[in-house]
């Protein structure tokens, strides 16, 4: 599966477009639609087209991770929500999460919503943007 336009729009809405590199709350240099990596450094600037290209390239990695870790058949919206989560918190966190256990046990379990909503903290402090993002992912997942 690949991320639908609805999934991409959710990611874009919460990542926001930044054409100049900045440090995110987690302390990583970030640019575009939430792109991080060794190619992002202070002072870097890009165009909107480059930001879109970076997002599409980044999504492949997270789509592959979700596809590899999820052992059950997902609907498109479920896949999109999990890709958004993984884009935000990383493959390692998805892999060790109760969220993934619940999805693999029963992808329609209502408890999955609660598991998404546990992932709202940076440095043990809840972050309003993460609370809103998790709520949007839950809404997408169950739509």
How many Å separate Cα 70 from the centre of its chain?
A: 15
45 DSSP assignment: B
In the chain, how many H helices and how many E strands?
7, 5
Catalytic position from the list 9, 15, 18, 137 = 15
Token code pair at residue 69: 């870790």
**15 is annotated as an active-site residue:** yes
CA 21 – CA 110 distance, rounded (Å): 38
Catalytic residue positions, numbered: 15
């Amino acid at each position: 599966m690949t991320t639908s336009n609805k999934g991409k729009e959710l990611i874009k809405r919460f990542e926001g477009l930044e054409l100049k590199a900045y440090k995110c709350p987690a302390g990583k240099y970030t640019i575009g639609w939430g792109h991080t990596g060794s190619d992002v450094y202070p002072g870097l600037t890009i165009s909107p087209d480059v930001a879109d290209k970076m997002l599409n390239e980044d999504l492949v990695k997270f789509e592959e991770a979700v596809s590899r870790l999820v052992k059950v058949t997902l609907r498109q919206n479920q896949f999109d929500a999990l890709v958004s989560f993984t884009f935000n918190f990383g493959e390692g966190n998805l892999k060790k999460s109760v969220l993934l256990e619940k999805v693999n046990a029963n992808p329609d379990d209502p408890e999955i919503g609660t598991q998404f909503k546990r992932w709202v903290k940076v440095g043990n402090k809840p972050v309003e943007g993460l609370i809103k993002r998790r709520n949007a992912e839950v809404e997408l997942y169950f739509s």
